[in-house]
C-alpha cells in the first residue's frame, strides 16, 4: 500500500505531540510493509528539501511568511507543486492530512492523487491558535486575531467536509468535531493516540537514572513536560505545589519544555520562593525523555484547556510511572481506566493540590505504587500502542468504496 502523510510540521525532529504522531505513523506504516511519503512545510530557510526518516521519505516545500495571505497562498501552491512531482508515476492508496492548510490544495485540486483521504484532528485549529496567541489590545489587532481564527476554522471545515473520514485520537475530540463542524458521527473514527511500548518501558535501575540526570535520590520526583504556554496550566501547578506545604518540601518538581511562558514561570518560582524545589530544565531531547519518565515518582498533567489526547500521559504510564491530571480533554478518558484518584476535581490550584496530596500519600505504600504502575503499563500495552494505531489506520482502507463518500 502506498501512503502519503501531509503536515505543517516535520517528522525529523520531535518537539511536540503533533510531530510525534506524524513520525510514529510514518515509521509504523513502513514497519508494516507499506511505502510512505511525507509532504511537509519546510522548517526553515536552510532546511533540506527532502530527507529520509525511518524508511519513509519527507518532501518539503518552502513558504512565505511576509503576511497571512502570502503564507496561505505559498502553502497551497507549495504543497501542490511537490505533490505533482510525487504522483508522476502513480497515485496513492491513502492520503492522511495532519494539518488542514497543507492538505487544502491537494484535496480539492488533486483529489485523484489518492483513492482515500483521511484527516487526523489533533485539536481544533482555531482553538489551538487562540490559546497560543496573546489576547489583542487594539481594535485592529483584535480584528486580525478574529479573522485568523475564523480562517483556520473555515479551512479545517472545508478539509473535513471533503475527506472520506476524520480520525480523532480521543472520544473528547470526537464530540468537539461534531459540535464545532457538524460532522456526521459515522464519518468520525476513533484511533487512539499511543506510546512506543518498546521505548517507553519501566526502568531497571531508577537510582542510576537519577544520578545520570542530576536528580536527588532521597526526594520524591514530580515531572511534567509541556509546551510552556498558558493552556498547559503550569502557573496553576506552581500554586498547587506551594499549597502542599511540608509534603511539597520533600519533593522536587521538574518542568521540561520551552515556550513563551518561561520568563513568567521563572518569575513565579522566585515569587513563591520555590527555587529549591522547582527546576526548569528546558527542552528535553527525545533520547532523555524516557529517562525522565522512568526516574520520576509521578508525572503531572495540570492542563487548563484543550488536551486533544495527551501523549505524555500514555508515555509516562508505559514507563510504569503513575500520572495525576486535571479533568480536561482526554486526560480522564485514560486515567479513569486506572483509578479515579488520579484525576483532580477541577483545574484550579486547590483541586490539583488535593489530588496530588492524596496520590503522594497513596504511593508511599510500595504495594499501592506497584498496583498503579502495573495497571498503567498494562493499559498502554493493551490499548494505546502504535502498532495497533497504524493497523487501525490501514483497516480503514479496506472499507467498501460506497462508505468512502464524504458528506
Superfamily of domain 2-194+386-403: Glycogen Phosphorylase B; (3.40.50.2000)
- The DSSP secondary-structure symbol of 69 reads H
For the chain, the domains span: 2-194+386-403, 206-383
Among all chains, which residue has been given the C-alpha cell 510504569? Answer: 320
Crossing angle for the helix pair 286-295 and 206-213, to the nearest 10 degrees? 130
Of 206, 211, 260, residue with least CA distance to 234:
260
What pLDDT, on the 0 to 100 scale, is given for residue 134? 67
CATH fold label, 206-383: Rossmann fold (3.40.50)
What pLDDT, on the 0 to 100 scale, is given for residue 17? 87
Q: CB–CB of 5/28 below 8 Å?
A: no
pTM of the model: 0.90
Q: CB–CB of 5/96 below 8 Å?
A: yes
CA distances from 1 to 9, 218, 394, 396 (A): 23, 52, 9, 12
- Beta-carbon contacts of 254 under 8 Å, excluding residues fewer than 6 positions away, are 215, 221, 222, 223, 224, 279, 281, 292, 296
Give CA–CA dist 202/89, Å, rounded: 46
pLDDT mean for each 10 residues of the chain (407 residues): 95 88 96 96 80 94 90 95 93 96 96 96 88 75 88 96 96 95 95 95 92 94 92 93 87 94 94 94 90 97 89 96 96 96 96 96 93 97 95 79 46
What pLDDT, on the 0 to 100 scale, is given for residue 402? 45
Of 243, 265, 383, residue with least CA distance to 313:
383
Of 7, 118, 121, 110, residue with least CA distance to 58:
7
What pLDDT, on the 0 to 100 scale, is given for residue 144? 86
Same fold, 2-194+386-403 and 206-383: yes
Give the cell for residue 374.
Answer: 502495573
Of 163, 168, 165, 160, residue with least CA distance to 191:
168
Give the cell for residue 368.
Answer: 499501592
Count how many Cα atoms sit within 13 Å of the Cα of residue 316 in the half-sphere of its side chain: 26
Angle at 388 between CA 294 and CA 90, to 5 degrees: 125
Among all chains, which residue has been given the C-alpha cell 488520579? Answer: 342
What pLDDT, on the 0 to 100 scale, is given for residue 68? 87
What pLDDT, on the 0 to 100 scale, is given for residue 399? 55
The two beta strands, 35-41 and 50-53, are unpaired
Give CA–CA dist 199/220, Å, rounded: 24
Give CA–CA dist 59/57, Å, rounded: 7
Of 316, 303, 283, 332, residue with least CA distance to 237:
303
Angle at 130 between CA 168 and CA 70, to 5 degrees: 95
Of 230, 384, 365, 251, residue with least CA distance to 313:
384
Give the cell for residue 210.
Answer: 537519577
Amino acid at each position: 500500500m502506498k501512503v502519503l502523510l501531509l503536515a505543517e510540521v516535520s517528522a525529523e525532529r520531535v518537539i511536540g505531540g503533533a510531530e510525534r504522531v506524524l513520525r510514529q505513523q510514518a515509521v509504523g506504516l513502513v514497519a508494516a510493509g507499506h511505502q510512505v511519503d511525507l509532504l511537509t512545510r519546510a522548517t526553515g530557510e536552510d532546511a533540506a528539501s527532502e530527507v529520509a526518516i525511518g524508511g519513509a521519505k519527507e518532501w518539503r516545500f518552502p513558504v512565505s511568511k511576509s503576511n497571512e495571505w502570502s503564507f496561505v497562498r505559498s502553502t497551497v501552491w507549495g504543497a501542490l507543486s511537490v505533490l505533482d512531482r510525487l504522483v508522476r508515476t502513480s497515485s496513492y492508496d491513502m492520503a492522511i492530512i495532519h494539518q488542514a492548510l497543507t492538505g487544502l490544495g491537494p484535496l480539492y485540486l488533486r483529489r485523484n492523487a489518492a483513492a482515500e483521504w483521511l484527516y487526523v484532528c489533533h485539536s481544533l485549529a482555531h482553538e489551538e491558535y487562540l490559546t497560543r496567541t496573546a489576547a489583542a489590545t487594539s481594535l485592529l489587532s483584535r480584528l486580525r486575531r478574529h479573522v485568523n481564527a475564523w480562517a483556520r476554522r473555515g479551512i479545517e471545515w472545508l478539509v473535513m467536509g471533503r475527506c472520506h473520514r476524520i480520525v480523532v485520537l480521543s472520544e473528547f475530540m470526537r464530540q468537539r468535531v461534531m459540535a464545532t463542524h457538524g460532522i456526521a458521527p459515522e464519518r468520525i473514527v476513533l484511533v487512539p493516540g499511543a506510546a512506543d511500548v518498546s521505548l517507553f518501558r519501566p526502568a531497571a535501575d531508577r537510582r542510576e537514572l537519577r544520578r545520570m540526570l542530576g536528580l536527588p535520590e532521597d526526594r520524591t520526583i514530580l515531572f511534567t513536560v509541556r509546551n510552556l504556554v498558558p493552556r498547559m496550566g503550569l502557573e496553576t501547578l506552581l500554586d498547587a505545589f506551594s499549597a502542599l506545604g511540608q509534603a511539597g518540601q520533600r519533593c522536587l518538581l521538574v518542568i521540561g519544555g520551552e515556550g513563551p511562558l518561561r520568563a513568567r514561570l521563572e518569575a513565579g518560582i522566585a515569587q513563591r520562593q520555590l527555587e529549591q524545589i522547582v527546576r526548569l530544565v528546558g527542552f528535553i531531547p527525545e533520547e532523555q525523555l524516557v529517562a525522565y519518565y522512568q526516574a520520576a515518582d509521578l508525572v503531572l498533567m495540570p492542563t487548563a484547556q484543550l488536551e486533544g489526547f495527551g501523549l505524555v500521559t500514555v508515555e509516562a504510564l508505559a514507563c510504569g510511572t503513575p500520572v495525576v491530571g486535571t479533568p480536561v480533554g482526554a486526560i480522564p478518558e485514560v486515567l479513569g481506566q486506572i483509578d479515579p484518584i488520579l484525576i483532580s476535581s477541577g483545574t484550579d490550584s486547590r483541586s490539583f493540590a488535593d489530588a496530588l496530596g492524596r496520590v503522594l500519600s497513596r504511593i508511599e505504600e510500595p504495594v499501592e505504587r506497584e498496583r498503579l504502575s502495573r495497571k498503567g503499563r498494562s493499559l498502554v500495552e493493551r490499548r494505546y500502542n502504535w502498532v495497533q494505531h497504524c493497523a487501525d489506520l490501514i483497516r480503514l482502507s479496506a472499507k467498501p468504496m460506497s462508505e468512502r463518500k464524504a458528506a
